């Protein structure tokens, strides 16, 4: 599994008017090709009267599935520019549909490429990008006397507590970034003077707001 990757939030849309043509961009996070096809079909059904519903998607840990569809626009002027926007932003598991209502002014090949690319970019911006970071769930079992101290220390160090079970002893379910498990366990052993019992559990992705580094 990848330790981290970029993708979009679940859903978003935007609308642009370019030389009297309306371009509506739709973005959805998808994890299978079936989900992508279903999303594209839903937009086509919604905009059955549109001139074109062009689309592209990238799916898979290593971008194994990549598809682009011009839906009647000149070859390479719609689906490919949308796909290139997804690639340029290094997004995974992302599907974009751009619907066009023709406004009567021909844009030419270059104009179409720019219009579809711009709409895809604006739709991603409207949707929002997140970073998915792989974490390991670590269970910490401790006496109740330690609960406040551990909660405070975890909060101070910005660790995420997913759940707490209040049984004979307290069990904290803490998310630790993958690769940092050993350091975390050693630190917790030292912090509790060896009184904490720890067990590594399943791994999962945690969504973190992505802030692009500006040059």
Q: Residue 1 has what pLDDT?
A: 84
The DSSP secondary structure of 84-130, one letter per residue, reads HHHHHTTB-SEEEEEEEE--S---HHHHHHHHHHHHHHHHHHHH-EE
Number of residues written out for the chain: 215
Q: CB 112: neighbour CB atoms within 10 A? A: 23
Q: How far apart are CA 97 and CA 123, in angstroms?
A: 9
Question: Consecutive sets of 10 residues in the chain, 215 residues long: mean pLDDT of each?
Answer: 93 94 96 97 97 97 96 95 97 97 91 96 95 96 94 91 94 95 94 93 90 54
Q: Residue 157 has what pLDDT?
A: 87
**Any residues with CB less than 8 A from the CB of 213 and at least 6 apart, and which?**
none
Q: Residue 215 has what pLDDT?
A: 35
Residue 43 main-chain phi, psi, to 5 deg: -70, -40
SS3 of the chain: helix, strand, coil, percent, to 5: 30, 40, 30
Q: How far apart are CA 101 and CA 63, in angstroms?
A: 31
Q: How far apart are CA 164 and CA 170, in angstroms?
A: 7
Location of structure tokens 């937009």: 43
Q: How far apart are CA 67 and CA 146, in angstroms?
A: 53
Q: How far apart, in Å, do the first and last CA atoms of the chain sit? A: 30
Q: How far apart are CA 152 and CA 157, in angstroms?
A: 9
Q: How far apart are CA 4 and CA 62, in angstroms?
A: 12
Q: Residue 214 has what pLDDT?
A: 42
Token readout for 158 is 């910005």
Domains of the chain by start residue, with CATH: 4-127 (3.30.230.30), 131-209 (3.30.70.240)
Token readout for 210 is 């992505």
Q: How far apart are CA 47 and CA 57, in angstroms?
A: 19
């Amino acid at each position: 599994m990848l330790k981290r990757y970029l993708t979009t939030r679940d859903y978003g849309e935007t609308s642009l008017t370019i030389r009297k043509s309306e371009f509506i961009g739709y973005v959805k996070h998808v994890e299978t090709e079936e989900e992508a096809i279903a999303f594209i079909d839903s937009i086509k059904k919604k905009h059955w009267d549109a001139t074109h519903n062009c689309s592209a998607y990238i799916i898979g840990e290593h971008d194994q599935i990549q598809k682009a569809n011009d839906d009647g626009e000149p070859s390479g002027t719609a689906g490919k520019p949308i796909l290139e926007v997804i690639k340029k932003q290094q997004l995974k598991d992302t599907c974009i549909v751009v619907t066009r209502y023709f406004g009567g002014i021909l844009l030419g090949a270059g104009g179409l490429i720019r219009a579809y690319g711009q709409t895809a970019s604006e739709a991603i911006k409207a949707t929002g990008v997140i970073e998915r970071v792989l974490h390991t769930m670590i269970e910490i079992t401790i006496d109740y006397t330690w609960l406040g101290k551990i909660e405070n220390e975890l909060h101070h160090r910005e660790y995420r507590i997913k759940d707490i079970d209040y049984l004979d002893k307290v069990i904290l379910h803490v998310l630790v970034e993958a690769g940092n498990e050993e350091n975390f366990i050693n630190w917790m052993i030292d912090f509790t003077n060896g009184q904490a019992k720890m067990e590594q559990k399943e791994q999962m992705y945690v969504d973190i707001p992505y802030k692009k580094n500006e040059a």
